[in-house]
Amino acid sequence: MKIAVCAKQIPDPATPYSLDPETHFVVRPNDQVLDDTDRYGVEMALQLAEANDAEVVLVSMGPAGNLQGVRQALAMGADKAIVVDDEGLRGSGALVTAKVLAAAIQQEGGVDLVITGTESTDGYTGVVPQQIAALLGLPALSFARKVELDGTTLKVERISATGYDDVECPLPAVVAVTSGAVEPRYPTFKGIMAAKSKPVEQPTAADLGIAADAIGEAGSGQEITSVEDAPSRTAGTKIVDEGEAFQAIVELLEKAKVI
Amino acid sequence: MDFAPSAEHEAFRKVVREFAEAEVAPHAEEWDRTHRFPLDTVRAMGEMGLFGLPFPEEYGGMGADLLTLCIAIEELARVDSSIAITLEAAVGLGANPIFRFGTEEQKRAWLPDLTAGKALAAFGLTEPDAGSDAGGTRTRAVLDGDEWVLNGTKAFITNSGTEITSLVTVTARTGPDEISTIVVPAGTPGLVIEPAYRKMGWRASDTHEVRLEDCRVPAANLLGERGKGFRQFLEILDEGRIAIAALAVGLTQGCLDECTAYANDRRAFGAPIGSYQGIAFKCADIAVAADAARLLTYRAAWLRDRGERATREAAEAKLFASEAAVTAAREATQVFGGYGFVDETPVSRFYRDAKVLEIGEGTSEIQRIVIARTLGLPV
**Rounded CA separation A28/A186 (Å):** 25
Contact (CB<8Å) B64/A189: yes
| Per-residue pLDDT tens digits for A93-123 | 899 999 999 999 999 999 999 999 988 888 7
pLDDT for B353 equals: 98
Instruction: Check whether A248 has a pLDDT greater than 90.
Output: no
Asked whether residue B26 is assigned to any structural domain, the reply reads: yes
User: Using the beta-carbon criterion (under 8 Å), do B12 and A192 form an inter-chain contact?
Assistant: yes
Q: Which A positions 187-206 lie with beta carbon below 8 A of chain B? A: 187-190, 192-193, 196
Buried residues in B146-157 as b, exposed as e (16+ CB within 10 A) = ebbbbbbbbbbb
Question: In the prediction, which pLDDT does A218 show?
Answer: 85
**Which chain B residues are closer than 8 Å to A192 by Cβ?**
8, 11-12, 15
A226 located within any domain: no
Q: Which of B104, B239, B361, B365 is catalytic?
A: B361
Of the residues A43, A67, A74, A189, the best mutation for testing chain B's interface (the one with the most B CB atoms within 10 Å of its CB) is: A189
Same domain, B135 and B63: no
Q: What are the φ and ψ backbone dihedral angles of B116, each rounded to 5 degrees?
A: -85, -5
Same domain, yes or no: B112 and B136: no
**Is there a domain that residue B303 lies in?**
yes
Q: Are residues B326 and B197 in the same domain?
A: no
Task: Give the closest of A185, A190, A192 to B11, CB-based.
Answer: A192
Cis ω for the linkage preceding A172 (within 30 of 0): yes
Residues 6+ apart with CB under 8 A from B176: none
B71 touches chain A (CB under 8 A): no
Residues of B in contact with A193 (CB under 8 A): 8, 63-64
What pLDDT does residue B131 have?
82
- Domain total for chain A? 1
Residue B1: predicted pLDDT: 72
All residues of chain B having their beta carbon less than 8 Å from the beta carbon of residue A187 are: 11, 15
**Interatomic CA distance for residues B213 and B192, integer angstroms:** 7
Chain B residues in contact with A68 by the CB 8 A cut-off are 11
CB contact at 8 A, A105 and A129: no
Asked if the Cβ–Cβ distance from A196 to B62 is below 8 Å, we say no
Residue A69 touches chain B, beta carbons under 8 Å: no
- Spatial contact of B207 and B158, defined as CB atoms under 8 Å apart: yes
What residue ranges of chain B have pLDDT lower than 50?
none
CA atoms within a 13 Å half-sphere pointing along the CA-CB vector of B336:
26
Q: How far is CA A243 from the centre of its chain?
A: 51
Tell whether B49 is within 8 A of chain A (Cβ).
Answer: yes
Residues B320, B325, B326, CA angle at the centre, nearest 5°?
A: 105
How many CB atoms are located within 10 Å of the residue A146 CB? 16
| The domain boundary residue, chosen from B120, B137, B158 | B120
The rounded Cα B281 to chain-centroid distance in angstroms is 30
Instruction: Report yes or no: A151 and B18 within 8 Å, Cβ to Cβ.
Output: no
Q: Are residues B174 and B111 in the same domain?
A: no
The string of pLDDT tens digits covering residues A9-32 is 999 888 888 888 888 888 888 889
Is B188 in the same domain as B291?
A: no
Q: Is B298 on the interface with A (CB under 8 A)?
A: no
The total number of structural domains in chain B stands at 3
| Partner-chain contact B12 A68, CB within 8 Å | no
Q: What is the ipTM of this complex?
A: 0.86
**Secondary structure, 3-state, A199-256:** CEECCCCHHHCCCHHHCHHHHHCCCCCCCCCCCCCCCCCCCCCCCCHHHHHHHHHHHC
Surface-to-core class of residue A24, CB atoms within 10 Å of its CB (0-12 exposed, 13-18 middle, 19+ buried): middle
3-state secondary structure of A63: coil
- What pLDDT is stored for residue A196 in this prediction? 92
Judged by CB atoms closer than 8 Å, whether chains meet at A188 and B62 is answered as: yes
Instruction: Mark whether B312 and B356 lie in a shared domain.
Output: yes
pLDDT in tens, A124-173: 888 999 999 999 999 999 999 999 999 899 999 999 999 999 999 999 99
CA distance B138 to A243: 77
- Rounded Cα distance between A43 and A21, Å, is 37
B88 as an active site residue: the answer is no
Assess whether pLDDT exceeds 80 at residue A35: yes
Helix (H) or strand (E) holding A9: strand A9-10
**Do B234 and B365 fall within a single domain?**
yes
Please name the residue ranges forming H helices in chain A. 36-52, 68-76, 94-108, 128-136, 189-196, 216-220, 245-255
Asked if residue A238 belongs to a domain, the reply is no
**Helix, strand, coil shares of chain A as percentages rounded to 5?**
30, 25, 45
Instruction: Look at residue B30 and tell me if it is in a domain.
Output: yes
Q: What is the pLDDT of residue A20?
A: 87
- Model confidence at A238: pLDDT above 90: no
Examine residue A254 and state whether it is found in any structural domain, yes or no: no
Domain assignment of residue A70, given as a range? 2-220
* Chain-chain contact of A190 with B63 (C-beta, under 8 angstroms): yes
pLDDT at B117: 96
**A71 touches B at CB < 8 Å:** yes
CB A34 within 8 A of CB A77: no
How many C-beta atoms lie closer than 10 Å to residue B65's C-beta?
A: 19
Residue from B6, B8, B45 to probe the interface with A (highest A Cβ count within 10 Å): B8
Q: What is the pLDDT of residue A225?
A: 86
Residues B76, B167 within the same domain = no
Is the CB of B62 less than 8 angstroms away from the CB of A189?
A: yes
Q: Which residues contact B49 (CB under 8 A, 6 or more apart)?
A: A188, A189, A190, B61, B62
Cβ–Cβ contact B337 with A under 8 A = no
Determine whether the interchain pair A185/B47 forms a contact, defined as Cβ–Cβ distance below 8 Å: yes
Q: Please tell me the distance from the alpha carbon of residue A143 to that of residue A116, in angstroms, as a whole number.
A: 10
Length of chain B: 379
In angstroms, the CA A139 to CA A137 distance is 7
Q: Is there a contact between B8 and A196 if contact means CB atoms under 8 Å apart? A: yes
- Return the CATH number at A118: 3.40.50.620
- Alpha carbon distances (Å) from B125 to B94, B165, B221, B233, B234: 11, 17, 16, 9, 11
Helix (H) or strand (E) holding A174: strand A173-177
> Are B197 and B208 spatial neighbours (Cβ–Cβ below 8 Å)?
yes
For A202-207, which contacts have Cβ atoms below 8 Å and span 24 or more sequence positions?
A202/A64, A202/A82, A202/A83, A202/A84, A202/A85, A203/A82, A203/A84, A203/A104, A203/A107, A204/A84, A204/A85, A204/A86, A204/A88, A205/A84, A205/A86, A205/A88, A205/A89, A205/A100, A206/A86
Query: Rounded to whole angstroms, how far apart are CA atoms B229 and B182?
Result: 9
The answer to the question of residue B379 being in a domain is: no
pLDDT in tens, B297-344: 999 999 999 999 999 999 999 999 999 999 999 999 999 999 999 988
**pLDDT confidence of residue B69:** 98
CA distance B296 to chain A (A): 24
B282 with B334: CB under 8 angstroms?
Answer: yes
Q: Give the per-residue pLDDT at B5.
A: 82
In a domain, B1, yes or no: no
CB contacts, 8 Å: B12 with chain A? 189, 192
B251 and B367 assigned to the same domain: yes
SS3 content of chain B, % helix, strand, coil (to 5): 60, 20, 25
Environment class of A163 (CB within 10 Å of its CB; exposed 0-12, middle 13-18, buried 19+): exposed
End-of-domain residue from the set B195, B226, B257? B226
Q: The domain containing residue B153 runs over which residues?
A: 121-226
d(CA A213, CA A88): 9
Alpha carbon of A168: minimum distance to chain B alpha carbons (Å): 32
Q: Which residue, B172, B200, B226, sits at the end of a domain?
A: B226
C-beta separation of B341 from B333 below 8 A: yes
For residues B147 and B191, membership in a common domain is answered with: yes
* B18 contacts chain A (CB < 8 A): yes
Radius of gyration over every alpha carbon of chain A, rounded to an integer in angstroms: 22
CATH of residue B42's domain is: 1.10.540.10
State the DSSP code for A186.
Answer: P
Residue B250 domain-assigned (yes or no): yes
Residues B138 and B178 in one domain: yes
**Closest of B350, B363, B359 to residue B252, by C-alpha:** B350
- Residues B255, B266 within the same domain: yes
